């Protein structure tokens, strides 16, 4: 997959089921461009050699670090005995799926999951409720294959796709910490060599099935140093750093309010404005909230690289950039089909002219992007403001991408329906 901005994984929705059981984990992530190969050997010999693990009750406890470049990649030990699987950590989608081994077709990457090696693997038959078409809470297209197994097809906004069978499998976090069987996709056809870890508020997300009450991550700044990948942290459950978090309440939507352009399972936050330095742009707060048709919601999405804004907000941001550095824009250049505020050559002065970028929320909560990180190096000597136009994706939402979540703790408190933020040096935190 080409390295393009990825506000991708929020197009298929499932009903939200509130969670009350606590789970506490600190998991290993590898955050890299989707096209980059990573080493999956992340688990101890004792973990990989387990033969018959049995499910344990939350809370679980596991600690590690992750790496970050463009997309967050988590390495999870799946099956019995565990097989390490690379998965994109995505707060914008629900279905989790893994790359599965194909017996009769050309082999997939060596890291693909081999169901025949796992004693805890099982498939979902066509008679399973999830395999019945058009049930209200599952818009995933399913069908019955020639083996009478439940087959699914999943498509994302950037053209990524995956299809295979719906299955059940365990995830092992340590010798004594194992989930019960979770419903996953077992992809035998896909356009990427990694899976997806769906983390939204839907009932079949990893968060819901594993009964996770909260999770948080701290993404370090990207590095332009060749061969160096910065590291950060990801927690499931209580975060020992949470004493400094500032929270905003999630906007939630009952069944009666479901609208055609709304993703009711996204982590929708109450953004009210955008500033450059001390100058607040003249954008109505209503632009950042769902209108009668659901357009305009603002979501926090770890599966998106760039932030994307609806036209009414993007036009004001672009006008301000033009006022400050318009003559230096690279004319006719659009990164990823959505971002046209880009520059080439020597850009040392441009961040100083643009200033700090601030996303403003209710309760005095802000995400401040310092001027040094307003531009994103997209390669080829080109740097872009890390904001794209949502309409160019065919989306009607504002999306806070991971490039604007750097050097922040971001906590998704699912039980209390809130999101917390706190400044941090994410290259150093544990």
Query: Which tokens belong to 345?
Result: 């050559």
Minimal CA–CA distance to 238: which of 412, 57, 7?
412
Beta strand pairing status for 182-190 and 195-198? Answer: unpaired
Minimal CA–CA distance to 195: which of 306, 107, 75, 80?
75
Cα distance between residue 201 and residue 162, in whole Å: 21
Residue 308: per-residue pLDDT: 98
Residue 385: per-residue pLDDT: 98
Cα distance between residue 51 and residue 1, in whole Å: 36
Residue 33: per-residue pLDDT: 46
Query: Which tokens belong to 355?
Result: 């200033």
pLDDT in tens, 110-138: 679 999 999 999 999 998 888 875 544 44
Provide the whole-model pTM: 0.85
> At which residue do the structure tokens 């009668």 appear?
292
Confidence of residue 56 (pLDDT cuts 50, 70, 90): low
Cα distance between residue 94 and residue 203, in whole Å: 8
Cα distance between residue 108 and residue 377, in whole Å: 32
pLDDT of 55 above 80:
no
> At which residue do the structure tokens 């950060």 appear?
232
Q: Where are the beta strands (DSSP E) in 175-304?
A: 177-178, 182-190, 195-198, 214-218, 231-236, 246-249, 271-276, 279-280, 298-300
Average pLDDT over residues 307-312: 98
Beta strand pairing status for 29-32 and 66-67? Answer: parallel
Average pLDDT over residues 407-418: 96
Beta strand pairing status for 66-67 and 231-236? Answer: antiparallel
**Residue 342 burial by CB count (10 A; 0-12/13-18/19+): exposed, middle or buried?**
buried
pLDDT in tens, 199-234: 999 989 999 999 998 999 999 998 777 778 787 788
Residues 307/400, Cβ–Cβ less than 8 Å: yes
What single-letter DSSP state applies at residue 136? T
User: For the chain, what are the domain ranges?
Assistant: 60-211, 239-253+261-421
* Displacement of CA 248 from its chain's centroid (Å): 19
pLDDT of 34 above 60:
no
Could you give the residue numbers annotated as active site? 90, 301
Average pLDDT over residues 32-44: 37
Fold matches, 60-211 and 239-253+261-421? yes
Cα distance between residue 376 and residue 221, in whole Å: 10
pLDDT in tens, 185-206: 999 988 788 899 999 999 899 9
Specify which of 66-70, 162-166, 254-258, 340-344 reaches the highest per-range mean pLDDT: 340-344
Q: What is the mean pLDDT of the chain?
A: 83
How is domain 60-211 classified at the architecture level of CATH? Beta Barrel (2.40)
CATH superfamily of 239-253+261-421: Acid Proteases (2.40.70.10)
Cα distance between residue 167 and residue 125, in whole Å: 9
């Amino acid at each position: 997959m080409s390295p393009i901005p990825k506000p991708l994984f929020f197009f298929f929705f499932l009903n939200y089921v509130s969670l009350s059981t606590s789970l506490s984990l600190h998991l290993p992530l590898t955050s890299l461009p989707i096209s980059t190969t990573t080493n999956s050997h992340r688990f101890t010999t004792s973990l990989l050699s387990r033969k018959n693990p049995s499910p344990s009750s939350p809370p679980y406890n596991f600690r590690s670090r992750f790496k970050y470049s463009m997309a967050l990649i988590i390495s999870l030990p799946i099956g019995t005995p565990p097989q390490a699987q690379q998965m994109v950590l995505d707060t914008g989608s629900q279905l989790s799926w893994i790359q599965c081994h194909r017996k009769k077709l050309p082999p997939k990457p060596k890291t693909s999951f081999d169901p025949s090696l796992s004693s805890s693997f099982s498939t979902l038959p066509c008679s399973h409720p999830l395999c019945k078409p058009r049930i209200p809470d599952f818009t995933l297209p399913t069908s019955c294959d020639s083996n009478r197994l439940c087959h699914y097809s999943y498509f994302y906004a950037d053209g990524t796709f995956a299809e295979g069978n719906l299955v059940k499998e365990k995830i092992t976090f340590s010798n004594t910490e194992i989930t019960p069987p979770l419903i996953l996709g077992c992809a035998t056809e896909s356009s990427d060599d990694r899976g997806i870890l769906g983390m939204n508020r839907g009932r079949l997300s990893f968060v819901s099935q594993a009964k996770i009450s909260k999770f948080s991550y701290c993404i370090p700044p990207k590095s332009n140093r060749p061969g160096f990948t910065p590291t950060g942290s990801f927690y499931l459950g209580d975060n020992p750093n949470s004493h400094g978090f500032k929270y905003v309440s999630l906007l939630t939507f009952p069944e009666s309010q479901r609208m055609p352009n709304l993703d009711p399972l996204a982590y929708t936050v109450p953004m009210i404005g955008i500033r450059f330095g001390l100058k607040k742009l003249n954008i109505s707060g209503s632009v950042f909230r769902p209108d009668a048709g659901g357009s305009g919601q603002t979501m926090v999405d770890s599966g998106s690289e760039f932030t994307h804004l609806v036209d009414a907000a993007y036009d004001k941001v672009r006008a301000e950039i033009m006022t400050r550095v318009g003559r230096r824009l690279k004319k006719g250049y659009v990164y990823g089909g959505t971002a046209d505020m880009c520059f080439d050559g020597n850009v040392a002065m441009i961040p100083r002219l643009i200033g700090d970028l601030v996303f403003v929320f209710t309760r005095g909560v802000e995400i401040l992007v310092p001027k040094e990180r307003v531009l994103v190096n997209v390669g080829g000597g080109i740097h872009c403001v890390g904001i794209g136009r949502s309409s160019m994706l065919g989306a009607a939402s504002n999306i806070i991408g991971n490039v604007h979540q750097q050097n922040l703790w971001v906590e998704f408190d699912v039980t209390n329906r809130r999101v917390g933020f706190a400044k941090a040096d994410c290259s150093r935190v544990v």
